[in-house]
A = this chain, B = another copy of it.
């Protein structure tokens, strides 16, 4: 069959990409005043929960490539958000710690993120919002296999 019916508006991949760019713009605008960005935010979330994680642990937790994490952490160190300390038992390993300033950013940053999430899901019922999260989890699971 000739595939003349393919349309951007109905391609999940296209929609996801578009939506992701809009999210990035929205959150970027709000957390930039805090000195955060879309690349650093997930790392901060992981570290606000548990400091002292290794780069390898952060990589597994956040699902980015090791090289991406290494570069992100370098920028974060440059910008005074984290400090890398050598692991005492394994000289290959770096543990990652928040600076005092970075610890203080938690509540304001989460507040901005919550606002963006609320804005994005405006007009949805609680049920729809839960469905949306569940459907995304399904897609993530489907695309994560292997």
A79→B47 CA distance, assembly (Å): 42
Chain A, 89-133, CB within 8 A of any chain B CB: 106-107, 110-111, 113-114, 116-117, 119-124, 128-129, 131-133
B114 to A138, Cβ gap below 8 A? Answer: no
Instruction: Indicate if A18 sits at the interface (CB-CB under 8 A).
Output: yes
A22→B145 CA distance, assembly (Å): 10
* Secondary structure of the A contact surface, majority rule: helix
> Which of A6-14, A50-58, A70-78, A80-88 lies on the face that meets chain B?
A6-14
A106 nearest CB across to chain B (Å): 8
**Apart from A25-B143, A120-B139, what are 16 other A-B pairs with CB-CB below 8 Å?**
A3-B106, A6-B114, A8-B45, A12-B23, A12-B121, A12-B132, A15-B133, A15-B137, A17-B20, A19-B20, A20-B20, A21-B63, A22-B144, A122-B142, A128-B135, A132-B139
Task: Give chain A's interface residues, CB within 8 Å of chain B.
Answer: 2-3, 6, 8-27, 38, 42, 45-46, 63-64, 106-107, 110-111, 113-114, 116-117, 119-124, 128-129, 131-133, 135-140, 142-144
